[in-house]
Amino acid sequence: MVSIGNFFFKYRNWIFILFYGALFIPSWPLFSPKQFGACYYIWPISIGLFITCLGQLIRGLTIGLAYIVRGGKEGKPYAEGLVTEGIFNHCRNPLYVGNILMLLGVGILANSLVYVAIVIPIFLFIYQAIVLAEENFLRGKFGPGFSAYCKKVNRWFPNLKGIGKTFGSMHFNWKRWILKEHTTQFIWLIGITLLLLLNYPELTGYDKNFRNLLIGVVLGVLVLIYILIRYLKKTGKFKE
């Protein structure tokens, strides 16, 4: 599994985008009018948005409370230091948990049985392999310190004990959150917009012209905001 994880680690950023694109693969529905009535769409929309927004919230809190300087170096796991504060004091891989919830949520939002039953399990397998590869690196670099951390904090399931104390003892850096997360948010919001407006004609009264107008306006606004943030970041006018 470690060797598999090392392979996928090189492409981990592209993996998320690839799996996001898989949302538009034709599929049998999770919720249908036959089973849930004329307002069936309320279920995938409400459940999907709740789960995917929870994932984004976890990512935001993780980045805003304690930024982990860990990523890749020459296509391999790398870390400058062992981060155990903030959300990392409650879960060892909160960013990955956030990603999983984001994809699961949009999969439900897409009302896709194929995505939830097939694509998500494949995604989980890949992430498990990546995490094992990262842990192998961290255990080799930080030794007993990392082993003690593993005994204290769960790999996947967050322990909410003391979460209030964590929030109260740290400052949320919203600028860091925007600077580090704006590309992920941009892709995420584009996907949600397209899924809502293309999959659920009920939301626009089956009016394709109105739907297309909304798509153009929302995507246009998102692109402008994204370009503005990129410009402010590049010029140094917006920084932590």
**pLDDT given at position 171:** 86
pLDDT digits (tens, 9 = 90+) for 202-222: 999 999 999 999 999 999 999
Distance CA 120, CA 165 (A): 33
10 neighbors 72 (Cβ within 8 angstroms):
yes
Smallest CA-to-CA distance from 160 within 67, 46, 58 is with: 58
Confidence of residue 6 (pLDDT cuts 50, 70, 90): confident
**pLDDT given at position 178:** 93
Q: Classify domain 2-170 at the CATH topology level.
A: Four Helix Bundle (Hemerythrin (Met), subunit A) (1.20.120)
Q: Which amino acid is at 155?
A: R
Half-sphere exposure of residue 142: CA atoms within 13 angstroms, side-chain side:
19
67 neighbors 59 (Cβ within 8 angstroms):
no
pTM (two decimals): 0.89
Q: Which amino acid is at 21?
A: G
Cα 205 from chain centre: 31
Distance CA 235, CA 229 (A): 10
Distance CA 15, CA 103 (A): 12
Confidence of residue 96 (pLDDT cuts 50, 70, 90): very high
Say whether pLDDT at 17 is over 90: no
Q: Which amino acid is at 97?
A: V
Q: Parse the chain into domains and list their residue ranges.
A: 2-170, 173-240
Cα 155 from chain centre: 17
